[in-house]
Amino acid sequence: MSADDDPRPTPARSGLIEWFERRLQLSELFSFLSHFGFVYTPLDTRLPLRELLRQVASRPVSSYLRWPRVLGFATTVLFGVMTVTGVLLACYYQPTPEAAYASTRAIARDVPIGWWVRQVHAWGAWLLLAAVVARLARFFLEGLYRAPREILWWSMVAMGWVVVQLDFTGRLLPWTQSGYWSVTRGLETVAGLPLVGPVLTWIGGGAAVNEVVLLRFHVLHTMVLPGLFMALFFLTFATLRRVGLTTVSHAGGVTTSRDHFFSVVLLFVLVIGVLTTLAVALPLPFLRAADPAVTPKGVTAPWYLIVPALVRDRLPLLWWPMAALFVASTLVVFFLPFLVRGDDRRDALVRPLGLGLGVLWMLLTVAGLYLERGR
């Protein structure tokens, strides 16, 4: 191809960007990277990067960081914080039953700033879970699973699964007595589920917690699940560029990319501030090392598994129907866009039903935590 056929305008300037431009597909690269949380409008990747950036900057964007849309961005920012602190923790953590507790204790006690890294990672897990669940609830209540947002809904439901599994695998890693027994009780419940139980215990390394399961959980927690989460971010932004942001709940509001970027930085500072405040004011406990021979009192399954765990322990007759319902309902949630299919009457039925079931589940969880506390 001669230079005359090249449809792109010749770059007027010859700076560093142009030097790279002649050697790299910078615009494609920018488009890929901005799929992880920065640009949610279509990009013309044939343009040179400078021009592309100018176009993005000049285009008015509907203000993204407004309640309740801030939940999505909070998820991105929290995931970034979790990745950085997680990499720092992985520099000292040793995933064997002999060394897991001592190495975590060393981070929390002996390494400078280690306490902050561990506390922020632990509190960040709660906030990330809360952000993802709240976002899922918001999308459900506003009916944002309907066409053309099916993929948005699926990636969000999948994010919910992944973040719960990140929480579950992360509980075991410090090898504390409470974490060990909480995961043991959770695994008993998961292993008993029809269909998914055998698959999950196969992936997790077995139904009884031992050194194989610890290593497997470590790999899942630090490599597989974060990788999946990143892929879901990409999917979310890839479909957002096609279908656009939601227009249901926000009362307009137009801003520029520059202001948007400023809000992102502000949100980041806010998240770090909240996490540090929590780490200092309400530090999460780090108590005794795991003792597989002694079941402590008052240790429950993780809160998201407490209802199945309770039914399994106390109402064994109801276990099979409830477990089947549990598995079926996750499938129903996933296939919701197909079940409703733009039918307004079904849609009007689905939302109060889902809301009712969600509230019922929460009430049962609270009751379960209360019942299990005394054991």
Partner 1 sequence: MSVLNAKTLWTWASRALLAVSGVAVILAVSLYLRPRELAALPGEEWVDVAPLDSLLLGEARLVQRDARPFYVVRVDESRLVSVSALCTHLRCTLRWERSEHAWACPCHGDRWNLSGAVIRGPATRPLETHTVSVRAGEVWVHL
* Residue 85 Cβ vs partner 1, minimum distance, rounded to whole Å: 10
Asked if 117 touches partner 1 (CB under 8 A), the answer is yes
* Residue 117 Cβ vs partner 1, minimum distance, rounded to whole Å: 7
CA distances from 90 to 71, 271, 339 (A): 28, 22, 43
Asked if 98 touches partner 1 (CB under 8 A), the answer is yes
Identify which range of 37-45, 85-93, 153-161, 316-324 contacts partner 1 by CB under 8 A: 85-93
The pair of three-digit structure tokens given for residue 365, joined into one six-digit string: 């969880």
Identify which range of 111-119, 176-184, 187-195, 234-242 contacts partner 1 by CB under 8 A: 111-119
Nearer to partner 1, 87 or 362 (CB): 87
Beta bridge mates, 255: 61
Nearer to partner 1, 70 or 84 (CB): 84
Asked if 103 touches partner 1 (CB under 8 A), the answer is yes
In sequence order, what are the residues at sequence separation of 6 or more whose Cβ sits closer than 8 angstroms to the Cβ of residue 235?
A: 151, 155
Nearest to 286 by CA among 129, 174, 126: 174
* Single residue of 112, 252, 316, 374 touching partner 1 by CB under 8 A: 112
Element (H, E) at 62: strand 61-62
* Single residue of 90, 111, 137, 228 touching partner 1 by CB under 8 A: 111
Asked if 113 touches partner 1 (CB under 8 A), the answer is yes
Identify which range of 100-108, 135-143, 186-194, 322-330 contacts partner 1 by CB under 8 A: 100-108
Asked if 92 touches partner 1 (CB under 8 A), the answer is yes
Give just the sign of the alpha carbon dihedral 62, 63, 67, 72: positive
Phi/psi of residue 62, each to 5°? -70, 140
Phi/psi of residue 176, each to 5°? -90, 165
CA distances from 14 to 17, 19, 22 (A): 8, 7, 10
* Residue 111 Cβ vs partner 1, minimum distance, rounded to whole Å: 6
Asked if 91 touches partner 1 (CB under 8 A), the answer is yes
CB 159 within 8 A of CB 75: yes
Identify which range of 107-115, 289-297, 299-307, 330-338 contacts partner 1 by CB under 8 A: 107-115
Asked if 110 touches partner 1 (CB under 8 A), the answer is yes
Query: Would you give the end-to-end CA distance of the chain in angstroms?
Result: 77
CA distance 159 to 169: 15
Asked if 318 touches partner 1 (CB under 8 A), the answer is no
* Residue 81 Cβ vs partner 1, minimum distance, rounded to whole Å: 12
Asked if 291 touches partner 1 (CB under 8 A), the answer is no
Torsion angle of C-alpha atoms 143, 162, 355, 372, degrees rounded to 10: -170
Give just the sign of the alpha carbon dihedral 198, 199, 202, 203: negative
Nearest to 225 by CA among 237, 235, 216: 216
Element (H, E) at 268: helix 257-281
* Residue 277 Cβ vs partner 1, minimum distance, rounded to whole Å: 17
* Residue 65 Cβ vs partner 1, minimum distance, rounded to whole Å: 19
Local structure of residue 100 (DSSP, 8 states): H
- Residue written as token pair 């959980």: 217
Asked if 248 touches partner 1 (CB under 8 A), the answer is no
Asked if 211 touches partner 1 (CB under 8 A), the answer is no
Nearer to partner 1, 111 or 228 (CB): 111
Asked if 214 touches partner 1 (CB under 8 A), the answer is no
- Using CB under 8 A as the binding criterion, the count of chain residues that bind partner 1 stands at 16
Asked if 63 touches partner 1 (CB under 8 A), the answer is no
* Residue 269 Cβ vs partner 1, minimum distance, rounded to whole Å: 9
Asked if 88 touches partner 1 (CB under 8 A), the answer is yes
Beta bridge mates, 289: 176
Asked if 114 touches partner 1 (CB under 8 A), the answer is yes
CA distance 115 to 102: 14
Query: Rule CB under 8 A: which residues touch partner 1?
Result: 88, 91-92, 94, 98-99, 102-103, 105-106, 110-114, 117
